[in-house]
């Protein structure tokens, strides 16, 4: 590991993200050529120009940037989870936040009834349904709130069951139990309100279609907070990687620092899930991708995994909109397929011999 390869990785991820932003703004149901004309020659057709500006400024730009911030939050949360649980297969959803958010959304949808079906329809069509989107902003805000509250309550439940954060194994088990129980509760809610099934499905698959400027700003703010907290807590994870007793012997106040780490994990995951639904594998794959290029301290890993997650989700989002345009795939499906493939490849590579030696 050298500083040069570190800065090389940082810069290539930033450049990649910028390139993907441009691409993401161009790709969509109304193609690139339909937008560039009106934008470059506003005097020819003012109506078309206004339309083009709206599509770019109100829909594509926020959702593209939103995809980046959501991916960055998940990548960061993945790095924190893997360091905290000292398990390379740990996932940001491990503390039950995903199932909690699902239950929250399912309950909200069941309570909303009719509006939910409308939202589900519009969500599946993505950015096309501008009018439906604007009509359901209130519904959307309600769902986001429900998802966030659900995620936070589930994490608190996990913490209560594991009686604190002293034992990571107990924390992990409690997270699994909460996930299973809340998942069953979600299914039960859906069974009694079949109308919400479609909207629920959109949430479970994950989509960036509804990320507006407000959501974007919220995620960016939380990301800044979490990245700075991660930078401060990186050394704790480094110490923990030498074992609990050694970390303790180094004078680290493990109890309070673990609470802070769990807080960062829950906040990052909860915020991302509330805005975009359950997007699979980004949080798991991003830290692995970074580690396959560079071995470094947790402070740097968190930042790099974050940049990597952002670039990944942004790329997946652009691909999801482009593959079957003018329709679009839910981005969570795409990340699950790509992430699953990546994990298989990783296992294959590991089974052939040394994985640690890849430079």
Partner 1 sequence: MTNATYSIAIQASGIRASIGNTEILHDISLGLPQGRWTSIVGPNGAGKSTLLKVLAGLMPHTGSVKLLGHDLHSLPHRTRAQQLAWLGQNESSGDDLTVWDVALLGRLPHQAWLAAPSPKDFAAVEIALKSTQAWDWRQRSLGQLSGGERQRVLLARALAVQAQVLLMDEPLANLDPPHQADWLGVVRCLLETGVTVVSVLHEISMALHADELVIMAAGRVTHQGACAHAATHRALEAVFDHRLSIHPLAGQWVALPN
Question: Where along the sequence are the contacts to partner 1 (CB under 8 A)?
Answer: 1-2, 86, 232, 235, 238-239, 241-246, 248-253, 291, 295-297, 301, 356-357
Q: Which is nearer to partner 1, 12 or 166 (CB)?
A: 166
Q: Which is nearer to partner 1, 194 or 253 (CB)?
A: 253
CB 174 within 8 A of CB 161: yes
Tell me the closest approach of the beta carbon of residue 219 to partner 1, in angstroms: 26
* 27 touches 325 (CB < 8 A): yes
| Closer residue to partner 1 (CB): 6 or 110 | 6
Minimum distance of partner 1 from residue 307's CB (angstroms):
17
Q: Taking phi first (over 0 means left), then psi (-120 to 50 degrees means alpha), and beta for anything else, what does residue 41 get?
A: beta
Instruction: Find the shortest distance in angstroms from Cβ 306 to partner 1.
Output: 17
Kindly list the distances between the CA atom of residue 241 and the CA atoms of 20, 56, 259, 263, in Å, as whole numbers in the listed order: 35, 45, 17, 19
Q: How far is the CB of 305 from partner 1 (least distance, A)?
A: 12
Question: Which residues lie below 8 Å from residue 299, measured CB to CB, with a gap of 6+?
Answer: 230, 231, 234, 235, 238
Cβ nearer to partner 1, comparing 241 with 327: 241
User: Would you say 52 or 257 has its CB closer to partner 1?
Assistant: 257
Q: How far is the CB of 86 from partner 1 (least distance, A)?
A: 6
| Ordered alpha helix ranges (H), the chain | 3-26, 32-40, 46-54, 61-84, 97-112, 114-125, 130-135, 137-161, 168-192, 197-205, 213-240, 244-249, 254-276, 282-293, 298-322, 331-351
């Amino acid at each position: 590991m050298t500083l040069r390869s570190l800065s090389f990785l940082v810069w290539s991820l930033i450049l990649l993200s910028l390139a993907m932003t441009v691409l993401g703004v161009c790709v969509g149901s109304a193609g690139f050529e339909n937008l560039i004309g009106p934008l470059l020659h506003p005097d020819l057709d003012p109506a078309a120009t206004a339309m083009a500006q709206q599509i770019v400024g109100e829909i594509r730009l926020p959702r593209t940037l939103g995809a980046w911030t959501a991916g960055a939050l998940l990548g960061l949360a993945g790095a924190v989870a893997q360091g905290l649980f000292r398990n390379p297969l740990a996932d940001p959803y491990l503390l039950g936040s995903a199932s909690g958010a699902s239950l929250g959304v399912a309950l909200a949808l069941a309570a909303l009834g009719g509006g939910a079906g409308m939202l589900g329809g519009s969500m599946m069509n993505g950015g096309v349904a501008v009018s439906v989107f604007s009509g359901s902003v209130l519904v959307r805000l309600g769902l986001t709130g429900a998802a966030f509250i659900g995620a936070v309550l589930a994490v608190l439940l996990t913490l209560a069951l594991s009686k604190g954060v002293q034992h990571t194994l107990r924390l992990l088990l409690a997270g699994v139990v909460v996930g299973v129980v809340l998942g069953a509760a979600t299914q039960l809610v859906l069974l009694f309100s079949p109308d919400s099934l479609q909207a629920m499905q959109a949430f479970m698959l994950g989509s960036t279609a509804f990320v507006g400027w407000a959501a974007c700003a919220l995620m960016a703010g939380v990301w800044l907070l979490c990245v700075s907290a991660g930078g401060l807590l990186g050394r704790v994870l480094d110490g923990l990687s030498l074992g609990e007793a050694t970390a303790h012997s180094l004078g680290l106040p493990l109890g309070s620092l673990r609470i802070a780490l769990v807080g960062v994990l829950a906040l990052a995951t909860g915020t991302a899930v509330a805005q975009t639904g359950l997007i699979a594998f980004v949080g798991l794959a991003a830290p692995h991708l970074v580690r396959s290029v560079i071995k470094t301290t947790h402070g740097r890993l968190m930042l790099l995994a974050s940049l990597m997650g952002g670039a990944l989700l942004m790329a997946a989002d652009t691909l999801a909109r482009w593959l079957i345009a003018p329709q679009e795939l839910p981005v969570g499906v795409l990340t699950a397929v790509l992430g699953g493939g990546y994990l298989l490849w990783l296992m294959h590579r590991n089974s052939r011999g040394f994985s640690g030696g890849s430079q």
